[in-house]
Amino acid sequence: MLEMNDIDTHKEESEVISDLLNRNTLMLINDDFHTFDFVVDALVDVCRHDPGQAEQCAYITHYKGKCDVKNGEMSTIKPMRDRLADKGLKVNIV
């Protein structure tokens, strides 16, 4: 027989799994075209990053070729992807 503690643990695990399945990652891809400052400004504007966070993402993208810039539900991530793409940046949702 399941004890109350076992039920609570199972519920917590189910919620974590559900959250992970509903999360999407907005990935910025390096393009060798846009300036560093342009990318930083776009991340501040679209993703609501603070300037330091945006700069860090721009550096990671430059040196690693890509960087996950935002996580969340598709309803939040897709409009951000569209706005960044409209600015000419290469972005994917994974």
* Sequence ranges of the domains in the chain: 24-93
- Residue 41 has a CB neighbour count (10 Å cut-off) of 16
Longest Cα pair distance anywhere in the chain, in angstroms?
Answer: 62
Alpha-carbon distances, residue 86 vs 4, 46, 81, 82 (angstroms): 51, 11, 9, 6
Question: What CATH number is given for 24-93 in this structure?
Answer: 3.30.1390.10
Q: Which neighbouring-strand residues pair with 24?
A: 72
pLDDT reading at 3 higher than 70: no
Q: Which neighbouring-strand residues pair with 68?
A: 27
pLDDT in tens, 11-65: 566 555 545 566 899 999 999 899 999 999 999 999 999 999 999 999 999 999 9
* pLDDT score at 13: 66
